[in-house]
Amino acid sequence: MTGPVMPLAVAESDATAEAESIGYDEILRRVRALAPRITARSEEIENARHLPRDLVEDLRRCGVFRATMPAEWGGPELTSMEQIALIEEVSAADAAVGWCVMIGMDSGIYAGHLTPGAAAELYPRLDMVTAGWVAPAGVANETAGGYLVDGHWRFGSGCTHADIIAGGCTVHRDGRPLLDGTGKPVTRIVLAPSASYAVEDTWHTTGLAGTGSCDYTAERLFVPAEHTVSFDEPRRDEPMYRRSDTLVRKMPGVPLGLARAAIEHVHGLVDRRFEGPGVPWRSSRHVQAVLAECEMRLTVARSAVHATVEAVWDRLVAGDRPTHKERADAALARYHAFRSARTIAHTLYDLVGGDATHRSRTPLDRAVRDSTTACQHVVGQHRVLEWSGQLLLGDEPGAAFV
């Protein structure tokens, strides 16, 4: 539940920026102004396999990383729907950047699950970036005042530019896993400054190369108990912090933005390409039908995401728990958005044909690869169908964030 008001500390050099209170409309305006510069650097981002530092600072100034910071601390505390729309805008400019923004804006969610004192200590500024893998791949050995942590985590999207890195751990006591009252292992997510971890250059992938989703490790890292969180133990009562699926609700913004950019790219070709002698693409019934099909897929996917997330949000605002059906609908809409974006990218790639294979001529090669890699995240995997089916039948799946 909400503790006493304790605003985040402000570094002297950042006082002017931190004193500025900005909301969704202003953050969105800044992102739209930055978008052309993001797109212009897409090749650089992909080749580097991580975000350039100066671009991270540009995004920080836009306010995207403060999106989930509590209003009580001066943050915008955006709704899940606003978060999705913001991520769509960034992802339309570059999907890897959109993915990093989607991950990095979790800072406020982590901070909202800490005690006010610990939040002020770990997050002294509103615009800090958090990255990390929350699945319990590490071991947190109980010790006086906290934990000694050893672990090797994968898929640390944004860990190359993060201020704070999270790592999911199984808690051990006296060398053995600690069990809860139901016999299940106790888990915690540890939070520590990025310099506390060793980042390994492992991110050589099909797509989303620019996310820098490297492996990272820790060895005998001391983490104070108050710098660990469990999403099953919210400390704030605002809607954003009441359910652990707040981390994944916004994820469809990435594929939705990617798909929109791919469609807009092909729209830009209709007056410059021809289907046979004298037949412009604009007059081609085949091209018209393909564009209509892709627009249909995106409209349906986007409508489903926003409608189902809004239903969950409204339930949380009312102080109620989302129903099993509402949770299943939201999970299925996320899954459908990822899969639909991949279908749209492949469909347009096939439409454009040979030119689509040239990275310098078209972004469609990148869209195909990025959407393919994005679908390998658990929210885009077939397991979502199994978990959603269990919910629809009234059962509780043994999966986090559903």
pLDDT band for 232, please (50, 70, 90 cuts).
confident
Which pLDDT score is estimated for 278?
81
Question: Of 160, 47, 31, which is closest to residue 100 (Cα–Cα)?
Answer: 160
Per-residue pLDDT tens over the stretch 312-326: 999 999 999 999 999
Q: What are the backbone angles phi and psi of residue 67, rounded to the nearest 5°? A: -55, -35
Q: Is the pLDDT of residue 16 over 50?
A: no
Half-sphere exposure (Cβ direction) of 301: Cα atoms closer than 13 Å: 29
228 and 392 in contact (C-beta within 8 Å)? Answer: no
Q: Is the pLDDT of residue 215 over 60?
A: yes
Mean residue pLDDT across the chain? 93
Which pLDDT score is estimated for 114?
96
**Strand, coil or helix: 319:** coil
Which pLDDT score is estimated for 69?
97
400 and 359 in contact (C-beta within 8 Å)? Answer: no
Per-residue pLDDT tens over the stretch 167-209: 999 999 999 999 999 999 999 999 999 999 999 999 999 999 9
More confidently predicted of 233 and 296: 296
* Alpha-carbon gap, residue 326 to 279, rounded angstroms: 48
To the nearest 10°, the Cα dihedral for 130, 132, 134, 136?
Answer: -140
Which pLDDT score is estimated for 8?
44
Which pLDDT score is estimated for 7?
38
- What is the average pLDDT across 346-372? 94
Which pLDDT score is estimated for 17?
46
The single-letter DSSP state of residue 280 is B
Q: Is the pLDDT of residue 150 over 50?
A: yes
For 219, the enclosing helix (H) or strand (E) is strand 214-224
For 26, the enclosing helix (H) or strand (E) is helix 24-40
Per-residue pLDDT tens over the stretch 164-176: 999 999 999 999 9
For 15, the enclosing helix (H) or strand (E) is helix 15-19
Question: Of 128, 182, 149, which is closest to residue 9 (Cα–Cα)?
Answer: 128
286 and 333 in contact (C-beta within 8 Å)? Answer: no
Which pLDDT score is estimated for 397?
94
**Strand, coil or helix: 20:** coil
* Alpha-carbon gap, residue 393 to 324, rounded angstroms: 9
* Alpha-carbon gap, residue 175 to 114, rounded angstroms: 26
- What is the average pLDDT across 129-144? 97
125 Cβ partners below 8 Å, 6+ apart?
Answer: 8, 9, 10, 11, 14, 18
139 and 170 in contact (C-beta within 8 Å)? Answer: yes
Residue ranges of alpha helices (H) inside 41-182 are: 42-48, 53-62, 80-93, 95-104, 107-112, 116-122
Per-residue pLDDT tens over the stretch 281-290: 999 999 999 9
pTM assigned to the model = 0.94
Q: By 3-state DSSP, what share of the chain in percent is helix, strand and coil, each rounded to 5? A: 50, 15, 30
